[in-house]
Structure 1
Amino acid sequence: MAELFNCKNCGKLFVKVTASICPSCRKIIDEKYDVVYDYIRQQENRQATVSEVHEATGVEESLIYGWVREGRLKTADFINLHYPCRTCGQMIQTGTICDNCSKQLAHELKIYEKQKEQDQSSDNDKKTYYTEL
């Protein structure tokens, strides 16, 4: 169901259906996307990095990172487009975190699970003794 919402870009009140930005901001962002896509679609610019695209087009790096993350700009077609890992900031092309952070997270999860099992087994080993008074 539609609801009133403030645009996260401009703060203008609008009826939110799906996106959290108003139609006028959406139009501006789509125009910026077209500028970026037209730039990197040219043969000589296909290997441009995000910072090079930003310098050439004036479009914010955060928007370009978002389009790469969403898959609107395909890294298979534009091999030098990367975005930062959400944890450490290392540049990646797929997912939300890099391989190192993923491995670290899996390692920490294993440690947590082992500790949880040990805590449960130690709780089960405790015996209760009753005395008469």
Structure 2
Amino acid sequence: MVELSNCPECYSLFVKTPFKTVCDTCSKEEELQFEAVYSYLKQSKNRSATLVTTAEETEVSEDTILKFIRQGRIQLANFPNLGYPCQKCETLIRENKLCLTCSKDLKTQLFDLEREEERRQKVTEEKATFYTFQPKNK
């Protein structure tokens, strides 16, 4: 779906698509930043660099590097010390959106909620009274 939007970087007007989230000018700048990050990381001595080190050495913001990782432009399998934050607790992770602890916690909460809903349903059914209507014969 395409829509008219303001660029989140420079606020200029552009046509936003699922694959294009910034204007042409910012897109070119972003591409240069990607090239800088990728060139830095592909050097064998830098393959074990962390997110902070990579950001400092390339002068590209951590948020922009994280965007490249989320877009799949930087494959974490090749860079053992890179990761992105868990959406709940900010712990660095390498896959999914939540770390194992938060994922387990969420599953527990959902299970508890489901059990509570079942309990409420059972109580409601036990208290339910049903009446039948039988018309009087004349």
TM-score (norm 1): 0.90
Query: What percent identity do the matched residue pairs reach?
Result: 38
Alpha-carbon distance, 1:129 to partner: 8.1
* Stretch of structure 1 that moved more, 39-48 or 68-77: 68-77
8 A contact 1:69–1:95 mirrored in 2: no
Cα distance 1:15–1:116, how it changes in 2: closer, same or farther (>3 A)? Answer: same
How many pairs are equivalent?
130
Q: Which runs of 5+ in 1 are unaligned?
A: none
> What residue is the counterpart of 1:15 in the other structure?
15
Q: Aligned pair 1:111/2:112, yes or no?
A: yes
CA distance in 1, matches of 2:78, 2:66: 15
- Is 2:41 aligned against 1:40? yes
Q: What's the counterpart of residue 27 of structure 2?
A: 26
Secondary structure, counterpart of 1:76 in structure 2: helix
Larger Rg: 2
Deviation digits for residues 63-86 of structure 1, max 9, x if unmatched? 111222332111111111111101
Q: Secondary structure at the match of 1:4?
A: strand
Please give the alpha-carbon distance, in whole angstroms, between the structure 1 residues aligned to 2:83 and 2:55.
Answer: 13
What TM-score does the superposition give when structure 2 sets the normalisation length?
0.87
Q: What is the aligned-residue RMSD (CA, Å)? A: 1.6
C-alpha contact (below 8 Å) 1:49/1:80 kept by paired residues: yes
CA deviation after TM superposition for structure 1 residue 17, in Å: 3.6
The residue that corresponds to 1:125 in the other structure is 126
Residue type matched to 1:48 in 2? A
2:85 is the counterpart of 1:91: no
1: CA distance, partners of 2:85 / 2:130: 57
